[in-house]
Amino acid sequence: MRLHLFPLRQPGYIDSVDWSVLSASEGQRLREFGVCEGASIEALHRGGLMGRGPLACKVGRMTIAMRRNHAEAIDVRSGPETPTQ
């Protein structure tokens, strides 16, 4: 499920990131904030009208705000840290 659709206050893990839809500087900034496959993430708040603005997320122990188009590039799963086969 994409991060922008993930329920608020539900812990999850980043399954994959579509780096190709982000510019090099956007991707670098997200990596510096700890956004990578396997990282823990929790959507805390959706801003803007009707929740269509920036998204506040907890990545690891850090709280960050990211643009909606960045959240649309991130696939998140709930459940165990490593997917079971």
Q: Are 76 and 36 in contact (CB under 8 A)?
A: no
Look at residue 74 and tell me whether its pLDDT is greater than 70: yes
Kindly report the average pLDDT of the chain as a whole number: 91
Annotation: CATH topology of 3-77: SH3 type barrels. (2.30.30)
Q: Under 8 Å CB-to-CB from 76, ≥6 apart: which residues?
A: 1, 2, 3, 6, 12, 13, 14, 15, 41
pLDDT band at 50 (very low <50, low <70, confident <90, very high): confident
76: left (phi over 0), alpha (psi -120 to 50) or beta: beta
* Domain parsing of the chain, residue ranges: 3-77
For the chain, give percent helix, strand, coil, nearest 5: 25, 35, 40
pLDDT for 51? 67
pLDDT for 36? 95
